[in-house]
Structure 1
């Protein structure tokens, strides 16, 4: 996608604070963190959102979820939250699927 900021981060056209990268995934610090640790996990392949995921995306979605606890542990977290905003009505602002992994506050607001 030409105008996708996350695709530009994947291609290194836009700088980011990368904390993990492999052939399929990229993880970087959120520029507007909501907690002490706030990392975005994205697939390198452009997928708009969970609404457009198909069975063929199962492996990469699983890898994204399994990466979250590894990143949490690497950042000293004993617990963390994940969040996936889906669609405009669901609060998604960047239409390239991404998981938020965040934590570190002693007093989390319960939803």
Structure 2
């Protein structure tokens, strides 16, 4: 069922404390932790505690939690003293999504050229 923890989901396991992560912020609805393969000096994932496959399904089902994820992305950037930062949601394997639990990448600390990718 959408929103419910998934036994085979890495991020659900991080939320449950079953898999270790370098958690830097937690709220009632979100968890933020350092990416294990950082692509910038600041590379943090902000995830909702509820399970949805991607940002679009999260936004449809839980718009308030989607806003929480974006708000926490800004808090992560502020905590890391990032003057400029990028928030990225990858949706689908063709876009680079490897864990199918909605999550935002917060990237900062180096020049981020446009267009990305």
Q: Which runs of 4+ in 1 moved over 6 A?
A: none
Shift of 1:89: 2.0
Secondary structure of the equivalent of 2:90? coil
Number of residue pairs matched? 110
Using a 3 Å threshold, how does the CA distance of structure 1 residues 51 and 65 change in structure 2: closer, same or farther? closer
TM (norm. structure 2) is 0.88
Shift of 1:90: 2.0
Q: Distance in 1 between matches of 2:85 and 2:38?
A: 14
Contact 1:34–1:102 under 8 Å retained in 2: yes
Task: Give ranges in structure 2 of 5+ residues lacking alignment.
Answer: 1-5
Q: Any idea what the Cα deviations from partners look like across 1:46-91, whole Å, max 9, x if unmatched?
A: 1111343353310000111111111101101111001000012222
Out of 10, 13, 33, the residue aligned to residue 5 of structure 1 is: 10
RMSD: 1.2
TM (norm. structure 1) is 0.92
Contact 1:51–1:87 under 8 Å retained in 2: no
